[in-house]
Amino acid sequence: MLIMGFVLTVQGQNDHKEKDSASVHAVILTLFDGMREADSAKVSSVFHKEVKMYSSFISKEGELMLKEGKLTSFLKAIGTPHDKIWDERIWNTKIEIDGGIAQVWTDYAFYIGDDFSHCGVDAFDLVKDSSGNWKIIHLMDTRKKEACERSH
């Protein structure tokens, strides 16, 4: 009986973790769908009100740089009409969850229309709010134009 109870408890935890993992992945996909659709409201819906955003890249002078972004600027850029679709394609996505926090690490390639722009890694921290919804509270990305895997 004890073993059966343990097995059922572990199974329930795994089912819950799989549901949370699917919910976290859906948040990330909503972000990129909103970018493709130029829908700033959709994009805004996945972010926590206290989100922090950073990009890491190598400057033209060869210096490692870290630039802080602002959600308001990001949303304005997405919502401003542009001729070509902003298409961030992701793969090799890894999701880790414990309680009310989650981390996502994924490779990406960013295209403007059919034209390659840059690639790198997106790293997200998410928190579950009091309504049980996952929100991105921290987003960091790396950006490079060379040595990119772009087959996805």
Q: What is the pLDDT of residue 83?
A: 95
Domains in the chain, number: 1
On whether residue 150 sits in a domain, the answer given is no
Q: What is the pLDDT along the chain (152 residues), one digit of tens a residue?
A: 555 444 444 445 556 678 899 999 999 999 999 999 999 999 999 999 999 999 999 999 999 999 999 999 999 999 999 999 999 999 999 999 999 999 999 999 999 999 999 999 999 999 999 999 999 999 999 999 887 876 55
User: 152 in a domain, yes or no?
Assistant: no
The residue among 53, 55, 52 whose CA lies nearest residue 66 is 55
Which tens digit of pLDDT belongs to each residue from 52-83? 999 999 999 999 999 999 999 999 999 999 99
**For the domain that residue 134 is a member of, what is the CATH number?**
3.10.450.50
- What is the DSSP annotation of 32-64? HHHHHHT-HHHHHTTEEEEEEEEEEEE-TTS-E
In a domain, 30, yes or no: yes
Whether residue 149 is contained in a domain is answered as: no
Residue 117 lies inside a defined structural domain of this protein? yes
User: First and final CA of the chain: distance in angstroms?
Assistant: 48
Looking at the domain assignment, is residue 82 inside a domain? yes
In a domain, residue 9? The reply is yes
- State which residues form the domain around 124: 2-143
